Amino acid sequence: MASLRSIEILGGPLDGRRLPWDTDVDLMTWTDGSRIYYHALDEVWTGKRMKKVLRHVQTVPMPKRNK
Protein backbone atom coordinates (compact mmCIF):
# COMPACT_ATOMS: atom_id res chain seq x y z
CA MET A 1 0.00 0.00 0.00
CA ALA A 2 1.31 3.44 -0.87
CA SER A 3 2.23 5.71 2.01
CA LEU A 4 1.47 9.28 0.92
CA ARG A 5 3.07 12.26 2.61
CA SER A 6 3.35 15.92 1.76
CA ILE A 7 6.73 16.63 0.18
CA GLU A 8 8.41 19.88 -0.92
CA ILE A 9 9.96 20.40 -4.37
CA LEU A 10 13.33 22.18 -4.48
CA GLY A 11 14.46 23.81 -7.73
CA GLY A 12 12.99 24.04 -11.19
CA PRO A 13 9.71 25.76 -12.06
CA LEU A 14 7.86 24.03 -9.20
CA ASP A 15 10.28 25.32 -6.53
CA GLY A 16 8.71 25.62 -3.09
CA ARG A 17 5.47 23.81 -3.93
CA ARG A 18 4.26 20.90 -1.83
CA LEU A 19 2.38 17.89 -3.16
CA PRO A 20 1.25 14.48 -1.91
CA TRP A 21 3.92 11.90 -2.75
CA ASP A 22 4.38 8.16 -2.44
CA THR A 23 7.80 7.84 -0.77
CA ASP A 24 8.41 4.47 -2.47
CA VAL A 25 8.76 6.34 -5.80
CA ASP A 26 12.12 8.11 -6.14
CA LEU A 27 11.82 9.98 -9.49
CA MET A 28 9.28 12.50 -10.82
CA THR A 29 9.07 13.88 -14.36
CA TRP A 30 7.07 16.99 -15.20
CA THR A 31 6.65 18.82 -18.48
CA ASP A 32 5.52 22.31 -19.45
CA GLY A 33 5.16 21.38 -23.13
CA SER A 34 8.63 22.44 -24.26
CA ARG A 35 10.89 20.92 -21.57
CA ILE A 36 10.96 17.82 -19.35
CA TYR A 37 11.98 18.41 -15.72
CA TYR A 38 13.39 15.55 -13.63
CA HIS A 39 13.18 15.59 -9.82
CA ALA A 40 14.76 12.93 -7.59
CA LEU A 41 13.86 12.02 -4.01
CA ASP A 42 16.51 13.38 -1.63
CA GLU A 43 16.94 14.39 2.00
CA VAL A 44 17.75 17.80 3.50
CA TRP A 45 19.04 18.48 7.01
CA THR A 46 16.74 21.04 8.71
CA GLY A 47 18.84 21.45 11.86
CA LYS A 48 16.65 19.11 13.89
CA ARG A 49 16.00 16.20 11.53
CA MET A 50 16.27 14.93 7.97
CA LYS A 51 13.39 15.94 5.69
CA LYS A 52 12.53 14.19 2.40
CA VAL A 53 12.30 16.50 -0.63
CA LEU A 54 12.11 16.23 -4.41
CA ARG A 55 15.24 17.93 -5.77
CA HIS A 56 15.44 19.20 -9.37
CA VAL A 57 18.26 17.30 -11.10
CA GLN A 58 17.90 17.83 -14.86
CA THR A 59 16.03 19.74 -17.58
CA VAL A 60 15.78 18.27 -21.08
CA PRO A 61 14.22 19.97 -24.14
CA MET A 62 11.27 18.11 -25.67
CA PRO A 63 12.02 16.56 -29.06
CA LYS A 64 10.58 18.49 -31.99
CA ARG A 65 8.12 16.81 -34.32
CA ASN A 66 8.85 16.67 -38.04
CA LYS A 67 5.83 17.65 -40.14
State the pLDDT confidence band at 61, using cuts at 50, 70 and 90.
Answer: very high
State the pLDDT confidence band at 53, using cuts at 50, 70 and 90.
Answer: very high
Quick one: pLDDT at residue 66? 79
> Cα–Cα distance between 66 and 19 in angstroms, integer?
35
40 bridge partner residues: 27, 55
State the pLDDT confidence band at 63, using cuts at 50, 70 and 90.
Answer: confident
> Cα–Cα distance between 60 and 67 in angstroms, integer?
22
Quick one: pLDDT at residue 65? 78
Helices (H) and strands (E) in the chain, counts: 0, 5
Other beta carbons less than 10 A from residue 37's beta carbon: 19
pLDDT digits (tens, 9 = 90+) for 20-32: 999 789 999 999 9
